[in-house]
Amino acid sequence: MDLNFDFAAEQPKLVQLLIGVVAFFAFIGLMLLLLDRAPMRQRARLHALILLGPALILLGIGLIIPGIRTTLLSFMNGDSSTWVGFENYSWMFTQPEALTVLRNTLIWVLVVPLLVTAIGLVYAVVVDNTRFESLAKSLVFLPMAISFVGAGIIWRFVYAYRPEEADQIGLLNQIVVFFGGTPQQWLLEPPVNTLFLIVVMVWIQAGFATVVLSAAIKGIPSEIVEAARLDGASPIQMFFRVTIPAIRPAVIVVVVTQCIGTLKLFDIVRTMTGGQFDTSVIANEMYNQSFRYGETGKGSALAVFLFVLVIPIVIYQIRNLRQQREAR
Amino acid sequence: MSLLSRPARITAVAAGLALIAAGCGSSETTTPPAAGGSSAAVSAECQPFAEYGSFAGKTVSIYSPIRDTEADLFQEAWAPFAKCTGMKITYEGTGEFEAQIQVRSDAGNPPDIAFFPQPGLLERFAKAGKLKPASAKVKELTDTNWSADWAKYATVDNVFYGAPLGASVKSFVWYSPKMFAEKGWKIPTTWDELMTLSDTIAATGIKPWCAGIESGDATGWPATDWIEDIILRDLGPEEYDNWVAHKLAFNDPKVVAAVDKVGAILKNDKYVNGGYGPVKSISSTAFQEGGVPITEGKCALHRQASFYANFWPEGTVVGENDDVYAFYLPGNDTTKKPVLGAGEFVAAFADRPEVQAVQAYLAGTEFPNARMKLATYVSANKGVDLANAQNPIDKLSMEILQDPATIFRFDGSDLMPAAVGAGTFWKGMTDWINGKDTKSTLDFIDASWPKS
């Protein structure tokens, strides 16, 4: 593949881009000008309208209309030609293969936030104020820079299987063989294979948790820590009675973002198993049904269900933020 | 502190942007249009293309699942046509064809022409009214150049949508002629002989068969080819058609018997998986690597399509008396030769004259011959000159495809609704290899057939 980017050939597009940008600024300028001429009394309302307008329009086009359309599609058949009522939903909650998908998503949502937060928290506390803290934090944060797809491919090699008599190319099996075991096909046995996929997600996200929680720990007022020390708190008591209550908001942020991220998870499953061997999750199945199988109804039903699952978490998060703001 | 000096950082950023720009263009490349020199009105070189007309300045876009080297060869093959007619053919190959063609079509941005490897997918677009019927010329060319079996796969509700393009023959068993000569094994001509041979090989301590069905999110397809081949042989072409159309239930006892017959090989630890381990290793072995143990003497037989010729390790000679070659997967008796195969179909989303000209050109005999001269290629076009075949397997495949006695059937999973053919059938067979029993696997696939 050649990397030539020929500006002459792309000229029409660049000109269009330029016209678009100029038109945008002209429009904004005009609106502000008009606003300036408006009578004083209405100005506040107009201000709000003009400033909120674009965001509301984009929200409508990008979120609300597609959301409504998806919901409607979920009550229709595969090629969206007739209404089928709740058939797609009953498929989702009765067919064994769909139930497996829901079960896997549940495992992911329960395990990933828990492990990520726990590992991140312990790591942050352990390396806190040690000599090699920044190095240790960099190391655990590095996987964050790898995309999920990239990480999926890396870990596929880690789990790679070769027969006993051949040379192992997978790290995990090489370790197993080194200790005298027989190589295993890690990704083939449900439901354990889902746990092997979860490891990948935890590997990526633990760094995020570490960095956020470590910053929160550093933000704990030193008076509190000193007071606890003077009162003779043991390190364990310090951790559970002082550190955790003090950084509770940060912990919640980590747990919530992990929950949402895990619910939407798609890349790791798709790159590593393609949803085979009973490892599929909602987002992956949604993509398969809608785009690969042409079953838009089932795909939309899964999307709606995913949406319903995310909503409570988002509401909780918003409330939490509000409470914090009020507390300040 | 910065790890990179300033100029180095700028270079890195520029390189990154260039990569992004290249990434956005995916593998889109263009065949340059006629470069200036049109002084000689119709040169000798352009003589064969004169009948298609002149389309100076026109552009035709092609979208296809064929990528990389093969895509380059395609473009090289039609470059003279593009040059002589003055049109520009933009070609884009993708690894996500099945999903992306739907997205592009829904978004109102379909290509002019798409190469559909699945007649089932083509049918979905035809029924949705997205495809344009093929021109009378394309129809005429298809009728002269292809057998009726082929033409019918691109016909939906009596409307003909496009000619076939490439083809592959799937009913092949790869083996090592050198190994067979050394051990004194004979090529089997019936199923019973094949099973006897398998036992003979197993008795020598070599696992006779090797297989691999891992193929990303298409994992399982090589196993479905096995099943299709056996159903075609044991139940006959008519029942095969019924099965593909779901007039014969997926969990019918006859289908169960056919699948069990495959299981006698693929799920038999004495027979598989040569070079890779137990039965289950089939599902984690990449299909590209499935037959490689033959070259290492760890396996003797590998059932895979003609295109597997491209997947042998470098330096492996394909030939009747060389490192690897293939024989026809035998049926129950030698009189009938049903053949399972696959291919692509050239269907159009536009009916502009230049688009129809490209379709006609691809349906004719110049293109496949030009393409064959470049590198390995198989077409079921009856007008191709076998002398252009680049390797013995291509030649053998085309001999089989051109033989009037051949009963050709298209790969069934490509004909079924995508939810089954590209979904539960693949998944079901993967689970089946992984230990699930035949009946419940087939019950699962049958239940997943879309109701309409």
Torsion angles phi and psi, residue B346, rounded to 5:
-95, 100
The reply to whether B24 touches chain A by the CB within 8 Å rule is: no
Q: Is B217 on the interface with A (CB under 8 A)?
A: yes
Residues B243 and B346 in one domain: no
Domain co-membership, A107 together with A223: yes
Residue A84 within a domain: no
Q: Are residues A52 and A189 in the same domain?
A: no
Question: B82 and B149 share a domain?
Answer: yes
A257 and A127 co-located in one domain = yes
Nearest CB neighbour to A185, from listed B22, B217, B284: B284
Q: Roughly how many angstroms between the first and final C-alpha of chain B, as a whole number?
A: 65
Measured between beta carbons, the chain B residues lying within 8 angstroms of A193 are: none
In this predicted structure, what is the pLDDT of residue B301?
A: 92
State how far the Cα of A196 lies from the Cα of B192, in Å rounded to an integer: 43
Domain-embedded: residue B428: yes
Kindly state whether residues B112 and B152 are assigned to the same domain: yes
Does residue A114 contact residue A120 with C-beta atoms inside 8 Å? Answer: no
**Shared-domain flag, residues A103 and A46:** no
Instruction: Check CB contact of A138 with chain B, cutoff 8 Å.
Output: no
Is A56 part of any domain? yes
Beta strands in B195-244, from DSSP E residues, in sequence order: 207-209
Are the Cβ atoms of B283 and A277 closer than 8 angstroms? yes
- Is residue A178 very low, low, confident or very high in pLDDT (cuts 50, 70, 90)? confident
Instruction: Tell me the shortest Cα–Cα distance from B193 to chain A, in angstroms.
Output: 29
Q: Report yes or no: A266 at the B interface, CB cutoff 8 Å.
A: no
Q: Indicate the burial class of B72 (C-beta count within 10 angstroms; 0-12, 13-18, 19 or more).
A: middle
Residue B103 pLDDT = 87
How confident is the model at residue A209, as a pLDDT?
92
Domain extent, residue B157, equals 44-169+341-408
* Closest Cβ–Cβ partner in B128, B219, B423 for A292: B423
Shortest distance, CA A160 to any CA of chain B (angstroms): 9
Do residues A109 and A51 both lie within one domain? no
Same domain, B256 and B352: no
Question: Which residues does residue B62 pair with via DSSP β-bridges, in sequence order?
Answer: B91, B113
Q: Which of B127, B284, B436, B445 to mutate to test the interface with A (most CBs of A within 10 A)?
A: B284
Which pLDDT belongs to residue A236? 87
Contact B283 A5 (CB under 8 A): no
What is the number of CB-based contacts under 8 A between chain A and chain B? 83
Between A95, A164, A276, which is nearest B427 by CB? A276
**A288 Cα to chain B: minimum distance (Å):** 8
Average pLDDT over residues A2-6: 57
**Has residue A113 been placed in a domain?**
yes
Residue B311, token pair as written in the block: 């997947």
Most A CBs within 10 Å, among B75, B124, B217, B221, to test the A interface: B217
Question: Cβ neighbours of residue A172 under 8 Å, at least 6 residues apart?
Answer: A158, A159, A186
Q: What CATH code is carried by the domain that includes residue B385?
A: 3.40.190.10
ipTM over 0.90: no
Query: Which of A41, A73, A105 is where one domain is finished?
Result: A73
- Evaluate whether residue B24 is within a structural domain: no
Q: Based on the domain organization, do B388 and B420 belong to the same domain?
A: no
Pick among A100, A293, A300 to test the B interface (most B CBs inside 10 A): A293
Q: Would you call A1 an interface residue with chain B, using a CB distance cutoff of 8 Å?
A: yes
**Domain end position, chosen among B408, B424, B439:** B408
Residue B187 zone, left/alpha/beta (φ > 0; ψ -120 to 50; rest) = beta
Asked if the structure places residue A220 within a domain, the reply is: yes
- Is the minimum CB–CB distance between B427 and chain A shorter than 8 Å? yes
One domain, residues A117 and A263: yes
B430 at the A interface (CB within 8 A)? yes
* Average confidence score pLDDT of chain A: 86
B99 part of contact set with chain A, CB < 8 Å: yes
Q: Flag whether B432 is in a domain.
A: yes
Residues B91 and B222 grouped into a single domain: no
Q: How many beta carbons lie within 10 A of that of residue A169, not counting itself? A: 12
Indicate whether B345 and B395 sit together in one domain.
Answer: yes
Overall domain count for chain B: 2
Residues 287 to 346 of B: which have CB under 8 A from any A CB?
Answer: none
**Phi then psi dihedrals of residue B165, to 5 deg:** -120, -95
With contacts defined as CB-CB under 8 Å, which chain B residues touch A97? 424, 427, 444, 448
Domain-located, residue A182: yes
Helix H or strand E segment including B229: helix B221-234
- Residue matched to tokens 């057998």: B147
Give the model's pLDDT for residue B16: 45
Q: Is residue B292 part of a domain?
A: yes
Element (H, E) at B124: helix B119-127
What's the domain range around A56?
11-73
Which helix (DSSP H) or strand (DSSP E) does residue B303 occupy? strand B299-303
Residues B52 and B152 in one domain: yes
* % residues pLDDT > 70 (chain A): 97
Pair (A228, A120) in one structural domain = yes
Question: How far is residue B321's CA from residue B306's CA, in Å, rounded to a whole number?
Answer: 17
| Whether residue A323 sits in one domain with residue A238 | yes
Which stretches in chain B have pLDDT values below 50? Answer: 1-40
Residue of chain B minimizing CA distance to A297: B450
pLDDT at residue A320 in the model: 82
Q: How many domains is chain A partitioned into structurally?
A: 2
Of A1, A161, A275, the CB nearest to B27: A1
Q: Which 8-state DSSP code applies to residue B434?
A: T
Residue in chain B lying closest to A275 (CA) = B217
Asked if residue B293 is part of any domain, the answer here is: yes
pLDDT in tens, A71-84: 999 998 877 778 88
CB spacing of A293 vs B423 below 8 angstroms? yes
Same structural domain for residues A112 and A242?
yes
Q: What is the pLDDT of residue B42?
A: 58
Q: Would you say the C-alpha torsion B61, B62, B67, B68 has a positive or negative sign?
A: negative
Within this chain, do residues B240 and B136 fall inside the same structural domain, yes or no? no
| C-beta atoms of B276 and A163 within 8 A | yes
pLDDT for B124 equals 85
Q: Say which residues have a Cβ less than 8 Å from residue A98's Cβ, sequence separation at least 6.
A: A91, A92, A285
pLDDT 10s digits, A189-202: 888 889 999 999 99
pLDDT of residue B67: 84
- On whether both B248 and B328 belong to a single domain, the answer is yes
Residue B122 lies inside a defined structural domain of this protein: yes
A295 interaction partners in chain B (CB closer than 8 Å): 419, 450
Evaluate whether residue B93 is within a structural domain: yes
Residue A7, pLDDT > 70, answer no
Instruction: Give the pLDDT confidence score for residue B39 in this predicted structure.
Output: 42
* Res A324 pLDDT > 60: yes
Amino acid B452: pLDDT: 61
Query: A291 touching B, CB under 8 A?
Result: yes
Q: Which of B21, B281, B418 shows the shortest C-beta gap to A161?
A: B281
> Do A101 and A59 have their domain in common?
no
Claim to verify: residue B190 and residue B162 sit in the same structural domain: no
Q: How far A314 CA lies from chain B's nearest CA (Å)?
A: 29
Q: Is B118 exposed, middle or buried (0-12, 13-18, 19+ CB in 10 A)?
A: buried
Tell whether A78 is covered by a domain: no
Of B217, B418, B447, the CB nearest to A294: B418
Residues A21 and A110 in one domain: no
Q: Is residue A6 part of a domain?
A: no
Put simply, whether A95 touches B (Cβ < 8 Å) is yes
Interface test with A, best of B24, B224, B427, B431 (most A CBs within 10 A): B427
pLDDT in tens, B218-250: 888 899 999 999 999 989 889 999 999 899 999
Disruptive mutation site among A3, A153, A292 for chain B (greatest number of B CBs within 10 Å): A292
In a domain, B224, yes or no: yes
Contact B277 A95 (CB under 8 A): no
With contacts defined as CB-CB under 8 Å, which chain B residues touch A192?
A: none
Are both A170 and A68 inside the same structural domain? Answer: no
Residues B428 and B322 in one domain: yes
In a domain, A274, yes or no: yes
Q: Give the mean pLDDT of chain B.
A: 84
